[in-house]
Amino acid sequence: MLSKSYVHGSSSANLLGETLGANFDAAAERWGDREALVVRHQNLRWTYRDLKKRVDAFAAGLLSLGLETGDRVGIWSQNNSEWVVTQYATAKVGLILVNINPAYRALELEYAINKVGCKALILSERFKSSNYIEMLKELVPSLTQSHPGELGSERLTTLSHVIQIGGKTSSGCFDFSEVIEMASPKSFERLEQVASGLQFDDPINIQFTSGTTGSPKGATLTHFNSLNNGFSTGEVLKFGPNDRLCVPVPLYHCFGMVLSNIAALTHGASVVYPDETFDPLKVLEAIEAEKCTALHGVPTMFIAQLEHPRFSEFDLSSLRTGIMAGSPCPIEIMRRVVEEMHCQELTIAYGMTETSPTISQTRTDDAIERRVSTVGTVFPNVEVKITNKIGEIVPIGDTGELLARGYSVMRGYWADPDRTSESVDSAGWMHTGDLATMDSDGYLNIVGRVKDMVIRGGENIYPREVEEFLHRNPKITDVQVFGVPDAKYGEELCAWIVLKHGEKADADEIREFCRGQISHFKIPRYVQFVAEFPMTVTGKVQKFSMRDSMIEKLSLNALETA
């Protein structure tokens, strides 16, 4: 039994000392005839052998364009087969894939490309209301007159190649299929030479992370980071060749490309993309039609499926396991997924992009009480400690900041040593910014963000605790709690609430539900009923946006700046 909040994830298995490309080649050799990828919106089914053929051809084509190991290649696209082909093809030749948020606008794209010096950009024509080609034209006016590979832009000086998914609409672009056709015997030969010379500590991925302030930071991950974290995920989920993983999460994020793609493809499992973006109905249809055994998603996605008016029509009995991650999981939602979606071995994973991403995860055979109330135990070969404000490890049960160390910690933020040193200390510990507790068995519980903790009249309030309580209200589908400025107490609690379909409630009813059940200072002073929360593309709730909205609505701006 532990006495201090420190634990190391022991493992009898060695870490994988190989590149992502080498691991993929071995998987394709072992499970060549098994189904690797199903993309329902593209009406596509590929075996491992089919996928490897396209990965190798695209990798050879990229070499034919003149791209070299270490060059950065951006991808700006929704979920599709081209995404996973690009993920593995770039890794095989040591190109560094730069994930660009599908929600980015022109100025954000400009920042991302220039920050890391992208030499090539792979993109869709459009996604939802975003016309990517038109936004790119704002930055590269010559796109419609240039020959492919001969771009010249004052605003994107490093960008030479634009590769369009689904057919090119501008003369300055290559079509994705054109690049595949550029593969020649010579470029295939070079592919083999380049791949054999790569090291597993080489960087292969940059993912932009951003908080509420400051410009996005480019977390740089290696083969070793991503491959081992994805493989360990598959091990925890007990994946095998008969598993079929439904992936509605976006691939541009670690959840999709590591915990989904790599976790499945290192274990001979099948990956199923139900649509180009999350649609609860498409997910339910895919699970039933494809007999999916696993499902990944953030809490809001699972809620949307459970609350869909046609939910009861679908046979979800094939489900066995999966991951709910990305933000704190309400206990009641976890119970409903296990019971109503038949996902008896559903797990909770916790981590961050900078740790590739998983730090801890519940196990499929953990008692339901553990799986609904914790984020599990530390991952194999990872260390965790919980410290107070002066860096001391706190006793078991005490709250402090969670720090992680091990193979999964990023190389650093691209070209940003100062911000890297702010996050990763001299001993190699990643400071997560999350407040956590550890019990005597090593199970972790995330109680909030250091910056989200509300201090009301000297009382520390963890919004997560209040959210969990409000989820017990049978009228509430989802709730987010945060602090707003207050002249008397410094901060007051505010709750944004989404009611179940057809239900009605008012603020007084919600506060009355709380009285006598939780401490008076934890009862939200302000209650706002909303249809939905502001969220990122990955489904993470943006509390800072809610806070700003309430400050403006309640005219608290003077207090905020006081």
Task: Read off the pLDDT of residues 430-479 as tens digits, 9 standing for 90 and up.
Answer: 999 999 999 999 999 988 878 788 888 777 788 888 998 999 999 999 99
Residues composing the chain: 562
213 pLDDT above the threshold of 60: no
Residue 244, token pair as written in the block: 């079929």
Cα–Cα distance for residue pair 473/460, rounded to 1 Å: 24
The CATH number assigned to the domain with range 20-199 reads: 3.40.50.980
Phi, psi of 401 (to 5 degrees): -85, 135
Domain 217-449, what fold?
A: Rossmann fold (3.40.50)
Residue spans per domain, the chain: 20-199, 217-449, 454-561
Alpha helices in 354-409 (DSSP H): 368-373
217-449 and 20-199 share a CATH fold: yes
Average pLDDT, the chain: 94
Number of Cβ within a 10 Å radius of residue 215: 13
% of the chain surpassing 90 pLDDT:
81
Sheet of 526-529, strands arranged across: 476-486, 490-499, 526-529
The pLDDT, as a whole number, for residue 562 is: 46
Beta-sheet pairing, 400-406 with 382-387: antiparallel
pLDDT grade, residue 326 (50/70/90)? confident
Contact 264, 313 (CB under 8 A): no
Cα–Cα distance for residue pair 180/271, rounded to 1 Å: 22
pTM assigned to the model: 0.86
The pLDDT, as a whole number, for residue 49 is: 98
Task: Read off the pLDDT of residues 83-113 as tens digits, 9 standing for 90 and up.
Answer: 999 999 999 999 999 999 898 889 889 999 9
Cα–Cα distance for residue pair 208/408, rounded to 1 Å: 17
The pLDDT, as a whole number, for residue 210 is: 67
- What separation in angstroms does the CA of 225 have from each of 301, 356, 362, 411? 27, 6, 20, 9
The CATH number assigned to the domain with range 454-561 reads: 3.30.300.30
pLDDT grade, residue 214 (50/70/90)? low
Mean pLDDT of 204-217: 79
Cα–Cα distance for residue pair 98/249, rounded to 1 Å: 18
State the DSSP H helix or E strand holding residue 126, giving kind and residue range, or none if neither: strand 126-127
Q: Minimal CA–CA distance to 219: which of 232, 210, 230?
A: 210
Residue 295, token pair as written in the block: 């499902």
